[in-house]
Amino acid sequence: MFNVNNYLSFAIHGGQGGHGGGVAGAVQQLLAFLETLTTQSPGEIFSSIMPGIAAMENIHPLLVHFPIAFLSAFILVDFAGSLAGKASWRQAAGWFLYLGTLTAALTVAAGLAAAASVSHGDNVHAIMERHQYMGISILLLASLLSLWRLLSRGVIQGGANVLYLLLVAVLGGLVVLTADLGGLMVYKYGVAVETSEPSMLDYFQQHQHSH
């Protein structure tokens, strides 16, 4: 199967390695890649352009970055706006919160589906359950903060603001801990990671790169 990575590659470690030709070579490779797309089915075209997504067992790893980014931006901007007394900053932070809550809902749904379909051992099951419960907690807390913000029309002051910011801090801690558990499952236990046997070519390439 053809994919974009086979064509749009660049030399590393100072060697051409069969991928040279400069700009002209890159253009030639791109044209060759586009030509192959005309002979493929829609599914094959998608796999060629997005081989990473096509290889996924589920879309949870794709979605998870969005709530992390949106909620992290919300926490930072909301705290900064509160400390600086900038109402406009806190108003902008609210939109990050709403987007983070929406994408968290999609991510949790995808995660629950993934937990039921991805094979894993007993040593990972407890970690996966904690990750699942903490992800749901993030969604519930973000939903509560969103509802509070909507009902107050973005104006939260005095003691209510202190409580609100405490909950925001808790949300930030949950995001960090949940992401850490997700990374633990993937990078230590290889959950949903397809492994392959190294070939002799891989060995020689690694040996050459070490010099």
Task: Spell out the residues 6+ positions from residue 58 whose beta carbon is closer than 8 angstroms to its own.
Answer: 110, 113, 114, 117, 118, 192
- pLDDT tens for each residue of 109-160: 998 888 777 766 677 888 888 999 999 999 999 999 999 999 988 788 899 9
Residue 49 has pLDDT above 50, yes or no: yes
Question: Residue 32's closest CA among 76, 61, 54, 2?
Answer: 2
Residue 166 has pLDDT above 60, yes or no: yes
Task: Spell out the residues 6+ positions from residue 201 whose beta carbon is closer than 8 angstroms to its own.
Answer: none
The structure's pTM equals 0.70
Residue 172 has pLDDT above 80, yes or no: yes
Structure tokens at 54: 């096509």
11, 22 in Cβ contact below 8 A? Answer: no
More confident residue, 201 or 90: 90
Task: Spell out the residues 6+ positions from residue 34 whose beta carbon is closer than 8 angstroms to its own.
Answer: none
142, 167 in Cβ contact below 8 A? Answer: no
SS3 per residue for 94-112: HHHHHHHHHHHHHHHHHHH
